[in-house]
Amino acid sequence: MRVTLGLLVVGAALASGCQHHRLFGHDDASGGATVRPPKPHIVWRPIPFSAARRAETAAYANRHYGLDTWRLERPRVIVEHYTAGTTFGSAYATFAADVPDAELHELPGTCAHFVIDTDGTIYQLVRLDTICRHTVGLNSTAIGIEHVGTSDAQVLGDAAQMRSSLRLTTWLQWRFGIRLRNVIGHNESLTSPFHHELYAAWRCQTHGDWTHADMDAYRSRRRRLDRRYGVEVGPPARPVSSGC
Ligand SMILES: [Zn+2]
């Protein structure tokens, strides 16, 4: 938790932020002080996350990552997605239903921590201490952000949605000390240095949402906010060979 009352406390929050960044290996090449980016308005719209779903999530994490926990201990990556649908309601219904997914047929049901609607409304569906199933190979370390829409270009062309997306991503980066190079599109999952999948049949599985070229466009817009907030960017992406 971070407090914002009083200059002394603000100073303490900044200091803890710096320590936070060191703890998470945040790049400090610029040597500059970080400034807290404002937290965007977030509408809490939780999906049911019962004890049963938590147990299914822990079993999933055990099968795929060798971690017997439903807890998202240390987010290091943010994965951007689009829903391939046209409404927040349909995305919410899909994520709320804890049923095996249509593609890979496993439990728990798929989900994302955030869904950003086309009007820029940011909904949070899942707590940030909880693993959400949105990206094969990265769920134990990644926060998932969905955008209502049917293509990268549609989201990139929606000024309200992009504004919210960039503000949310910037705030999450600051909150968890996540480097910009680890803000990736779903389609970049296989070349993330954090990608890890024990189940061989899924090792090369990914989706088409948010290609590298479109994420470069996203990241360059994101970088512009750094001048405003003083958030450190770190060096450019260093994708690893997927071997796929
Ligand atoms: Zn996706």
pLDDT value at position 232?
Answer: 59
pLDDT value at position 93?
Answer: 97
Q: What is the pLDDT of residues 199-209, one digit of tens each?
A: 999 999 999 99
- Measured at the CA of 167, the angle between CA 46 and CA 23, to 5 degrees, comes to 85
Cα(29) to ligand 1 centroid in Å equals 31
Q: What average pLDDT score do residues 5-29 get?
A: 35
pTM score of the predicted model: 0.85
pLDDT value at position 234?
Answer: 63
Q: What average pLDDT score do residues 84-101 get?
A: 96
Q: What average pLDDT score do residues 218-241 get?
A: 76
* Domains, the chain, ordered by start: 38-229 (3.40.80.10)
Rounded to the nearest integer, the mean pLDDT of the chain is 86
Cα(154) to ligand 1 centroid in Å equals 15
Cα(136) to ligand 1 centroid in Å equals 9
Element (H, E) at 211: none
* Residue 146 CB contacts under 8 Å (≥ 6 apart), including other chains: 81, 82, 83, 91, 112, 114, 115, 116, 134
Q: Is the pLDDT assigned to residue 16 strictly greater than 80?
A: no
Q: Is the pLDDT assigned to residue 99 strictly greater than 80?
A: yes
Model confidence at 225, pLDDT cuts 50, 70, 90, reads: confident
Q: What is the token pair recorded at 118?
A: 């086309």
Cα(209) to ligand 1 centroid in Å equals 5
Cα(45) to ligand 1 centroid in Å equals 20
Cα(177) to ligand 1 centroid in Å equals 23
